[in-house]
A and B are shown apart, each in its own frame.
Chain A
Amino acid sequence: MSTITETRTGTTAVRIDDISKVFGRGGGAVTAIDGMSVQVGEGEFLALLGASGCGKSTLLSLVAGLECPTTGSVDVGEHRVAMMFQEAALFPWLTVGANIEIPMKVNKVPKAERRKRVAELLDLVRLTGSERKRPHELSGGMRQRVALARALAQDADVLLMDEPFGALDAMTRDILHDELERIWRERSLTIMFVTHNVREAVRLGDRVVLLSSRPGRVISEFEVKGERPRRIDSALIAEQAAVITDRLREEVSRHA
């Protein structure tokens, strides 16, 4: 309980205000997001949950500033935003260390400083000693941790995650939930975590925001109960997940 109250006392880190996003024009126009408002508190772990077509990836692109909303506004204040995807998308021709250095090169961090921070970040994701390995020598879970280290190398305090563990097996995912939670706390990150896995959302989120599909809208919000670290197989998680799953099913059957 303490974590939730602690992290929720702060100010808003990300303010998404009545945005809509329309792709294309005229008859072929597709409304991906329609009138969505979400606020993410400083240091909050927000899970965004929705079926296909809820515009969750679009939403993250808007927050990352990769695209502009058609109407409405996204405000991240002074925060720096980093993003992670389902694929680690590491550069295969670079070593692990050199991959993590890329965002620092973009930010013109001097070389000695880069080396030091690569070592720190590798330590943080428990990959000390893998600096000279190449991405293809790593397992899927290890690659995602390198991707996490690379995202943190952007000096970001807001982390957007688009189904980052979607392609991993259950045991690896379970362990990475623990790891992500630890790093989120240690680094006081604000996280927006998109998933279609209800239990994962409840396992990780302070709050779960449920999105409708086509167009994407917020349909409801759930405060997650239970002290951290939660276990994904605990009764408390299962109970809350069941409620959310019912609500999600209701939403999906609307499209039948």
Chain B
Amino acid sequence: MPETRSRGDAVQGLDALETQPERGGDERSVAETAGRIWAATWPKLAAVALVLLAWQAVVWSGWRSEWVFPGPDRVLPTLFGEITTPEFWEAVRVTMRRAFIGFALALAVGVLLGLAVSRFKPLRVAIGSLITGLQTMPSIVWFPFAMLLYGISESAIMFVIVLGAAPSIAGGLTSGIDYVQPSLLRAGKVMGLRGTQRYRLLIIPAALPMFVTGLKQGWAFAWRSLMAGELLVIINQQNSIGWALSQARQLNDAERLLGYIIIVLVIGILIDVFFNWADRSLRRRWGITR
């Protein structure tokens, strides 16, 4: 059938014209990869160098005496010395364990809350704006109350982390669910998607990008609440990053103090890099950006 054949050719020809030509292979040369990595790295290295330089310059200017405000020439060696000690890793371990447990709790509470609010209209009317309100509250104001409730304990810290992070997570989930494209919902309805299958195959994946944004924000709140908590709620001299910070202050050990501040910054950056990576790969999969 020549006629059908030519029609098939027309379809295929049009498809080929309307889609972007395949990019020439994924194998890049080693030199090209190295060049790429260098291009992405050197501005960051330059920025770090610039900050260190500015810091050192302020110290040299004699604005404060060096035992209060030491320069990087003294802080960095202290820091490198510190990270070889088991006490340092114990502090990081305790703090990160609290962070992950607190965040996991906040995740569970946030997801349940978010699903409930998006499912039941009266609940949304009742507590929808309360959730937004909670997000704007500095979580540190909860600590006095948390310490009354739970005493000087891990639970007090967890309580504040959950209060700080769960509203953002719940908010991300509800707005993700709210903004699922109506055309997708209609398509799901036409295909007979119902009940849990509708949530599993349509609603949850469609809400995922906004949910991840909520997670990222929730993490930021959790991390801040935790640091505030560790400075305020010191449990039995237990080693932690917060405890090390307040110890360093009491001992007037500015070098260690600044070293730990750098550690807090680095941990924050690492987690942020992880969330950005998750966010970007999701968006690429969804076709939101290329």
List the interface of chain A (C-beta within 8 A of B).
Answer: 64, 66, 82-83, 85, 87, 89-94, 102-103, 105-107, 126-127, 134-142, 150, 154, 171-172, 175, 178-179, 182
Q: Which residues from 205 to 222 on chain B have a C-beta closer than 8 Å to any C-beta of chain A?
A: 205-206, 208
Known interface pairs A66-B189, A106-B191; 10 further A-B residue pairs with C-beta atoms within 8 A, sorted by A's residue number: A87-B183, A89-B181, A90-B187, A92-B288, A93-B206, A102-B201, A103-B191, A137-B20, A142-B15, A179-B11
Known: A89-B186, A142-B19. A171 touches B14 (CB 8 A): yes
Do A175 and B7 have beta carbons less than 8 Å apart? yes
Known: A91-B202, A135-B287, A142-B19. A85 touches B192 (CB 8 A): no
Do A141 and B285 have beta carbons less than 8 Å apart? no
**Which A residue's beta carbon lies closest to that of B289?**
A136
Is B190's beta carbon under 8 Å from chain A?
Answer: yes
Q: Could you say which residues of chain A place their CB within 8 Å of the CB of B287?
A: 92, 134-137
Do B184 and A93 have beta carbons less than 8 Å apart? no
Which one of A102, A103, A150, A175 contacts B11 once the chains associate, using CB atoms below 8 Å?
A175
Q: Could you say which residues of chain B place their CB within 8 Å of the CB of A105?
A: 197, 201
Q: How far is B201's CA from A134's CA once the two chains are assembled, in angstroms?
A: 16
Q: Could you say which residues of chain B place their CB within 8 Å of the CB of A106?
A: 191-193, 197
> How far in angstroms is the closest Cβ of chain A from B13?
9
**Which B residue's beta carbon lies closest to that of A169?**
B18
Q: Could you say which residues of chain B place their CB within 8 Å of the CB of A90?
A: 187
Q: How far is B191's CA from A94's CA once the two chains are assembled, in angstroms?
A: 16
Known: A82-B190, A126-B8. A93 touches B19 (CB 8 A): no
Q: Could you say which residues of chain A place their CB within 8 Å of the CB of B201?
A: 91, 102, 105
Which one of A89, A93, A107, A150 contacts B285 once the chains associate, using CB atoms below 8 Å?
A93
> How far in angstroms is the closest Cβ of chain A from B189?
6
Which one of B15, B183, B187, B197 contacts A139 once the chains associate, using CB atoms below 8 Å?
B15
Which one of B14, B15, B286 contacts A92 once the chains associate, using CB atoms below 8 Å?
B286
Q: Could you say which residues of chain A place their CB within 8 Å of the CB of B19?
A: 137-139, 142
**Which A residue's beta carbon lies closest to that of B191?**
A103
Q: How far is B8's CA from A137's CA once the two chains are assembled, in angstroms?
A: 21
Between A and B, how many residue pairs show CB distances below 8 Å? 82
Q: Could you say which residues of chain B place their CB within 8 Å of the CB of A175?
A: 7, 10-11, 14
Known: A106-B192, A179-B11. A91 touches B18 (CB 8 A): no
Known: A92-B287, A93-B205. A102 touches B189 (CB 8 A): no
> How far in angstroms is the closest Cβ of chain A from B194?
8
**12 CB < 8 A contacts A-B:** A85-B183, A89-B181, A89-B183, A89-B186, A89-B187, A90-B187, A91-B187, A93-B205, A93-B208, A102-B191, A175-B14, A182-B4
Q: Could you say which residues of chain B place their CB within 8 Å of the CB of A83?
A: 190
* Among B4, B11, B181, B205, residue most surrounded by chain A Cβ atoms (within 10 Å): B11
Q: Could you say which residues of chain A place their CB within 8 Å of the CB of B18?
A: 139-142, 172
Q: How far is B59's CA from A217's CA once the two chains are assembled, in angstroms?
A: 85
Q: Could you say which residues of chain A place their CB within 8 Å of the CB of B208?
A: 93
Do A91 and B186 have beta carbons less than 8 Å apart? no
Is B238's beta carbon under 8 Å from chain A?
Answer: no
Is B12's beta carbon under 8 Å from chain A?
Answer: yes
Q: Could you say which residues of chain A place their CB within 8 Å of the CB of B7?
A: 175, 178-179, 182
Do B193 and A89 have beta carbons less than 8 Å apart? no
Known: A89-B187, A91-B184, A93-B206. A126 touches B193 (CB 8 A): no
**Which B residue's beta carbon lies closest to that of A93?**
B205
Q: Could you say which residues of chain A place their CB within 8 Å of the CB of B192?
A: 103, 106-107, 154
Q: How far is B19's CA from A183's CA once the two chains are assembled, in angstroms?
A: 23
Q: Could you say which residues of chain A place their CB within 8 Å of the CB of B202?
A: 91
Q: Could you say which residues of chain B place their CB within 8 Å of the CB of A64?
A: 190
**Which B residue's beta carbon lies closest to that of A181?**
B7
Q: How far is B18's CA from A82's CA once the two chains are assembled, in angstroms?
A: 27
